[in-house]
Amino acid sequence: MTTHTASRLAHTARPIEPAALAELRRTDDAGRPCVPYTAADPDAGSPLRCCLRAIRPGERIALVSYAPLRRWAADTGARPGAYDEQGPVFIHARPCAGPAADPDGYPFARTGALRTVRRYDSRGRIAGGRLLEIPEDAVAGFDAAFAEAFADPDVALVHVRAVEYGCLHFEVRRP
């Protein structure tokens, strides 16, 4: 596996914002109460969207429904309509330190894993996307996918999602 420095990352992977996390820890975006539990071995390795790292057994976590486009649209005035969707994400049950200050790569970038790189325009509508099989040099692979996405001037943000479950891994906004 290739190691990279933060200065090489061309884009910033965004975790769920702290204000949204505070809300999700009470009631998720599907209107259900948050139900924390202690992570066990089957949870280990699953992505935490609050700090963009893998779950460790013994941590207090919660699986909540999250609507990232809806929350972005509320801040920007976009109207995604039917493109608004929600899905499951893991978060820490209590506030955490957030992502590492100097990440050495994009989160959840396991070589060979399949991701969708879904593009959205300023109205919140899907503006295309692509399948990415994460290469050995994951940073270069993601950088190329994001450069391709943002080459379209209409693209405002990108969601990186797992192919297997469709869940959001992280968001990147126009630089």
**Coil, helix or strand at residue 39:** coil
Cβ atoms of 43 and 55 closer than 8 Å: yes
1: in domain = no
pLDDT in tens, 8-60: 789 999 999 999 999 999 999 999 999 999 999 989 999 999 999 999 999 99
76: in domain = yes
Q: Read off the pLDDT band of 71 (50, 70, 90).
A: very high
Alpha-carbon torsion, ordered 39, 166, 52, 69, to 10 deg: -120
State both tokens at 29.
Answer: 């975006």
Q: Read off the pLDDT band of 77 (50, 70, 90).
A: very high
Question: 166 pLDDT exceeds 60?
Answer: yes
CB atoms within 10 A of CB 78: 21
Token pair 């005035």: residue: 77
CA distance 24 to 174: 25
Give the domain range for residue 59.
10-173
As beta bridge partners, residue 79 has: none
156: in domain = yes
Closest listed residue to residue 151, CA positions, set 119, 124, 126, 122: 119
As beta bridge partners, residue 63 has: 90
3: in domain = no
Closest listed residue to residue 64, CA positions, set 167, 173, 164: 167
**Coil, helix or strand at residue 147:** helix
pTM (predicted TM-score):
0.91
CA distance 109 to 124: 26
pLDDT at residue 103, rounded to an integer: 86
2: in domain = no
pLDDT at residue 8, rounded to an integer: 72
Question: 5 pLDDT exceeds 80?
Answer: no
Alpha-carbon torsion, ordered 123, 48, 44, 119, to 10 deg: 20
Question: 168 pLDDT exceeds 70?
Answer: yes
4: in domain = no
| Count of domains for the chain | 1
27: in domain = yes
5: in domain = no
pLDDT at residue 175, rounded to an integer: 83
Question: 68 pLDDT exceeds 90?
Answer: yes
